[in-house]
A and B are shown apart, each in its own frame.
Chain A
Amino acid sequence: MNVEELKIKISELLPGAVLEEGGQWLTINIEPNQWPAFAKQLRNDTNLYFDFLFCLTCIDWKTHLTMVYHLDSTKFRHNIVVKSKLDVATPAIETVSNIWRTAEFHEREVYEMFGVNFINHPDLRLLILPDGWEGKNPLRKDFEDPINMIRL
């Protein structure tokens, strides 16, 4: 599917979705509570068939967090980006590790770096950071570490 066809298809699935264009890929902004059902549709729809989650990351905007999911279809070779705003105080979103297995590790990384709580994640614990870093979230903009960090 090309971008125009994707836009029509997405609008059918999610009438209220806010679409963005101008970047490399079509971007959809959704609410966190829409994500579990929408993710299943993206994965299982025979014409969409987004079977490859090739990037899962998070952005700290200070006022809020944004989860970013990059999806690819190995069958149709089309891509899509899904973004979702999270509350900065208690960021939480449903896991997609049951749909795309690769998300299991990516979500653990976002969990330790940004403190996002992935609901129903099977094994939500630190991935790269050593023991003792639970709840410290070093990629948050307001993170401070007077022992290891030298502020410019």
Chain B
Amino acid sequence: MSDEIKNMTSEVPSSGGQGVFPGQVHELPGGGIVLSKLDDVINWARSNSLWPLTFATSCCGIEYMAVAGAKYDFSRFGFEVARASPRQADVIIIAGTIVNKMAPVLKRLYDQMGDPKYVIAMGACAISGGPFFYNTYSVVKGADHVIPVDVYVAGCPPRPEALLHALISLQNKIKDGLTREQLPLSPEEVK
């Protein structure tokens, strides 16, 4: 690479950072060349268009709605609009308690979502059963007993900012290629 071109090269890190394109842009007279990896470009594109499923089982749903509303507005980050069908959704936010009776429904919704799909466990109930961990006959002690989870958000319920942070963390995880589906299978899973 000649010095002239090197000077015009803008190098950016291949991942992380909101909205940064993963690759090198070589400005040339009369046009330009982009150097990148296809996987990185795909991850970058996918991470910026994650439509969540309309799914909430208790009070975390209220915070979820607040994040969808005008004040916090997750559309700004590419979570354009909550879809009422799992066929049209990329990410499921488990906003609330999962009871034994709801567990098969959650599993089915997850199975109906098209790949690639991502899961956020929002709040204490979805993480571990939370306030319903002890002395209850009906609550699943963590949604990850039913479906795999990519990002956990602590709180009871979490603040809207916390959910936004989780959503952006998920985006960064996708850009880094570190979600469950992007990682290579472990030897045990191959078996």
A-to-B contact residues, CB < 8 Å: 128, 130, 138, 143, 145, 148-152
**How far, in whole Å, are A152 and B135 apart by their CA atoms in the complex?**
7
What residues on A are CB-neighbors of B135 within 8 Å? 149-152
Q: Which of A128, A130, A143, A151 contacts B134 (CB 8 A)?
A: A151
Docked-complex contact B134 and A148, CB < 8 angstroms: no
Closest to B129 in A: A150
**How far, in whole Å, are A145 and B139 apart by their CA atoms in the complex?**
12
Docked-complex contact A150 and B138, CB < 8 angstroms: no
Chain B nearest Cβ from A42, distance in angstroms: 35
Question: Besides the contacts A149-B137, A152-B135, what 12 more A-B pairs have beta carbons closer than 8 Å?
Answer: A128-B101, A130-B100, A130-B101, A138-B138, A143-B137, A145-B137, A148-B137, A149-B136, A150-B133, A150-B135, A150-B141, A151-B134
Closest to B136 in A: A149
**How far, in whole Å, are A149 and B132 apart by their CA atoms in the complex?**
10
Closest to A133 in B: B137
**How far, in whole Å, are A149 and B100 apart by their CA atoms in the complex?**
12
What residues on B are CB-neighbors of A145 within 8 Å? 137
Closest to A149 in B: B137
**How far, in whole Å, are A47 and B53 apart by their CA atoms in the complex?**
53
Docked-complex contact A148 and B100, CB < 8 angstroms: yes
